[in-house]
Structure 1
Amino acid sequence: MSPPASKRNSGNGITTIDKLDYPPNSPRRPLLAPDSDTDSQRRSQDTSYAGSFFEQVAEGIYEQDRVKMQRAVLRWLSFVWAIVICLCAGSITAFSLYGHLFQSKLHYTQVQVNIVSIGAELGLYLLVPVFGYLCDRMGPGVPAGLAGLLFGSGYLLAAFAFRSGPPPSAGGHGWPHGVMVLAFAFVGMGTSCMYLAAVTTCAKNFGRGNAKGVALAVPIAAFGLSGMWQSQVGSRLLYIRNPDGSKGDVDVFRFFLFLGILLLCVGAIGFFALRIMDEEEMIDDAVDELERSGLLQRDDFFTQAASHHGYGTMEAQNLSDSTFDFLQSEAERLKAKAEEEARKKTWLLNEETRRYIMDPTMWWLAGGFFLVTGPGEAFINNLGTIIETLTPAHVSTNTSPATHVSIVAITSTLARLITGTLSDVLAPVAPSNQHRVGPDSVANSTSSLPPLEQPRKRFTVSRITFLLAFAFILSLGQLLLASGWVQNHPSRFAVVSAFIGAGYGAVFSLTPIVVSVVWGVENFGTNWGILAMTPAAGATLWGAVYATVYQRAAENGEAGVEKDPEDVLCHGKACYASTFWAMTISVWIAMGLFLWAWRGPGGWKRRGVAV
Structure 2
Amino acid sequence: MAPSSPASIPRITALDFDANRRHRRHSRESGRHSRESGRRTFGDEDFDFMGEVAQEIIERDRRKMRREVVRVLSFVCAVLCCLCAGSITSFSLYGARFLTDLHYTQYRVNAVSIVAELAMYLPVPLYGYLCDRYSPPPLALLSTFLFGFGYLLAAYTYKSGPPADATRDTQHGWPFSVMILAFIGIGSGTSCMYLSAVATCAKNFATAKYRGFMLAVPIAAFGLSGMWESQVGAHLLYQKLPDGRKGEVDVFKYFVFLAGTLVGVGLLGTLGLRIVDEEELIEHGVENLERSGLLDESEFFRESPDPTPAPRTYGTIGESGSGTATPSDDNFSEDFDLSESQLLKKREQEGRLRKKKWWLLNHATHAFLTDHTMWLLAAGFLLLTGPGEAYINNLGTIIPTLTPENYFDLTSPPAGHASTHVSIIALASTIARLFTGTLSDLFAPPSVPDNPPSTRVSFSRLVLLLPSAFLLFLAFVNLALPFFTAQHPSLFLLSSTLVGLGYGASFSLVPIIISVVWGAENFATNWGVVALMPAGGAAAWSIVYSVAYSRAADGEDGECRGYACFGTWAIGCSASVAVAIVLWSFAWKLWKQRNVVV
Q: TM-score, normalised by structure 2?
A: 0.85
Choose from 366, 385, 388 the match for 1:354.
Answer: 366
Q: Which residue of 2 aligns with 1:575?
A: 565
Q: Which residue of 1 aligns with 2:593?
A: 606
Q: CA shift at 1:154, angstroms?
A: 0.5
Q: Which residue of 1 aligns with 2:390?
A: 378
State the number of aligned residues: 538
The change in CA–CA distance for 1:493 and 1:45 in structure 2 (over 3 A counts) is farther
Q: Which residue of 2 aligns with 1:143?
A: 139
| 1:558-609 alpha-carbon deviations (Å, 9 max, x no partner) | xxxxx6x3x222111100000000100000000000001110xxx1111111
Query: Does residue 464 of the first structure (1) align with residue 454 of the second (2)?
Result: no
| 1:363-392 alpha-carbon deviations (Å, 9 max, x no partner) | 011110000000000000011101110022
Q: CA shift at 1:55, angstroms?
A: 0.4
Q: CA shift at 1:238, angstroms?
A: 0.2
Where do 5+ consecutive residues of structure 1 fail to align?
Answer: 7-15, 308-332, 433-450, 558-562
Q: CA shift at 1:141, angstroms?
A: 1.1
- TM alignment of 1:97-108, pairs within 5 A: 97-108=93-104
Q: Which residue of 1 aligns with 2:507?
A: 508
For the residue of structure 1 that corresponds to 2:32, the secondary structure is coil
| 1:310-359 alpha-carbon deviations (Å, 9 max, x no partner) | xxxxxxxxxxxxxxxxxxxxxxx9x9588212111110000000000000
The change in CA–CA distance for 1:162 and 1:244 in structure 2 (over 3 A counts) is same
Q: Which residue of 1 aligns with 2:523?
A: 524
Q: Which residue of 2 aligns with 1:400?
A: 417
Q: Which residue of 2 aligns with 1:482?
A: 480
Query: Does residue 19 of the first structure (1) align with residue 30 of the second (2)?
Result: no
For the residue of structure 1 that corresponds to 2:239, the secondary structure is strand
Alignment partners' CA distance in 2, 1:488 and 1:4:
130
- 2:285/2:519 contact within 8 Å kept: no
Q: CA shift at 1:393, angstroms?
A: 3.1
| 1:429-457 alpha-carbon deviations (Å, 9 max, x no partner) | 2239xxxxxxxxxxxxxxxxxx9x66244
Q: Which residue of 2 aligns with 1:218?
A: 217
The letter of the residue matching 1:483 is L
The letter of the residue matching 2:596 is V
Q: CA shift at 1:134, angstroms?
A: 1.6
**Of 573-582 and 200-209, the range deviating more from structure 2:** 200-209
For the residue of structure 2 that corresponds to 1:249, the secondary structure is strand
- TM alignment of 1:223-372, pairs within 5 A: 223-304=222-303, 336=348, 339-372=351-384
The change in CA–CA distance for 1:364 and 1:5 in structure 2 (over 3 A counts) is same
Alignment partners' CA distance in 1, 2:194 and 2:204:
16
Query: Does residue 423 of the first structure (1) align with residue 440 of the second (2)?
Result: yes
- 1:5/1:19 contact within 8 Å kept: no
The letter of the residue matching 1:139 is S
Alignment partners' CA distance in 2, 1:301 and 1:519:
20
| 1:36-94 alpha-carbon deviations (Å, 9 max, x no partner) | xxx99xxx888521111100000000000000000001000100111111110010010
The letter of the residue matching 2:158 is F
- 2:157/2:179 contact within 8 Å kept: yes
- 1:419/1:466 contact within 8 Å kept: yes
Alignment partners' CA distance in 1, 2:137 and 2:301:
36
The change in CA–CA distance for 1:378 and 1:139 in structure 2 (over 3 A counts) is same
- 2:202/2:215 contact within 8 Å kept: yes
Q: CA shift at 1:290, angstroms?
A: 2.1
Where do 5+ consecutive residues of structure 2 fail to align?
Answer: 1-12, 307-344
Q: CA shift at 1:299, angstroms?
A: 2.0
**Of 203-212 and 221-230, the range deviating more from structure 2:** 203-212
The letter of the residue matching 2:398 is I
Alignment partners' CA distance in 2, 1:82 and 1:364:
30
- TM alignment of 1:131-170, pairs within 5 A: 131-170=127-166
Choose from 564, 578, 590 the match for 2:580.
Answer: 590
Q: CA shift at 1:32, angstroms?
A: 9.0
The letter of the residue matching 1:18 is R
Q: Which residue of 2 aligns with 1:28?
A: 30
Q: CA shift at 1:210, angstroms?
A: 2.2
- 1:3/1:19 contact within 8 Å kept: no
Choose from 53, 57, 62 the match for 2:58.
Answer: 62
The letter of the residue matching 1:598 is W
Q: CA shift at 1:306, angstroms?
A: 12
| 1:180-204 alpha-carbon deviations (Å, 9 max, x no partner) | 1111111111111100111101100
Alignment partners' CA distance in 2, 1:45 and 1:225:
67
The change in CA–CA distance for 1:109 and 1:63 in structure 2 (over 3 A counts) is same
The change in CA–CA distance for 1:157 and 1:46 in structure 2 (over 3 A counts) is farther
Alignment partners' CA distance in 2, 1:516 and 1:18:
90
| 1:131-165 alpha-carbon deviations (Å, 9 max, x no partner) | 11121111111111111111111000000000000
Q: Which residue of 2 aligns with 1:412?
A: 429
Alignment partners' CA distance in 1, 2:301 and 2:277:
27
The letter of the residue matching 1:343 is K
Moved over 3 A (4+): 1-6, 20-24, 31-35, 44-47, 301-307, 335-338
**Of 80-89 and 335-344, the range deviating more from structure 2:** 335-344
Q: Which residue of 2 aligns with 1:440?
A: none
Q: CA shift at 1:212, angstroms?
A: 1.6
Q: CA shift at 1:473, angstroms?
A: 0.5
| 1:199-236 alpha-carbon deviations (Å, 9 max, x no partner) | 10110011222212101111111111100000000000
Aligned alpha-carbon RMSD (Å): 2.6
- 1:121/1:540 contact within 8 Å kept: yes
The letter of the residue matching 2:458 is T
The change in CA–CA distance for 1:302 and 1:128 in structure 2 (over 3 A counts) is closer
Alignment partners' CA distance in 2, 1:113 and 1:388:
15
The letter of the residue matching 1:345 is K
The change in CA–CA distance for 1:135 and 1:27 in structure 2 (over 3 A counts) is farther
- 1:123/1:185 contact within 8 Å kept: yes
For the residue of structure 1 that corresponds to 2:281, the secondary structure is helix
The change in CA–CA distance for 1:234 and 1:421 in structure 2 (over 3 A counts) is same
The letter of the residue matching 2:438 is T
For the residue of structure 2 that corresponds to 1:549, the secondary structure is helix
Q: CA shift at 1:30, angstroms?
A: 1.6
Alignment partners' CA distance in 2, 1:463 and 1:108:
44
For the residue of structure 2 that corresponds to 1:48, the secondary structure is helix
Alignment partners' CA distance in 1, 2:41 and 2:115:
71
Alignment partners' CA distance in 2, 1:364 and 1:283:
27
Alignment partners' CA distance in 1, 2:221 and 2:131:
20
- 1:391/1:488 contact within 8 Å kept: no
Alignment partners' CA distance in 1, 2:375 and 2:63:
42
Q: CA shift at 1:298, angstroms?
A: 3.7
Q: Which residue of 1 aligns with 2:313?
A: none
Alignment partners' CA distance in 2, 1:223 and 1:46:
63
Query: Does residue 53 of the first structure (1) align with residue 49 of the second (2)?
Result: yes
The letter of the residue matching 1:606 is Q
Alignment partners' CA distance in 2, 1:45 and 1:537:
78
The letter of the residue matching 1:119 is V
Alignment partners' CA distance in 1, 2:152 and 2:43:
71
Alignment partners' CA distance in 1, 2:187 and 2:14:
98
The letter of the residue matching 1:516 is S
Alignment partners' CA distance in 2, 1:196 and 1:97:
24
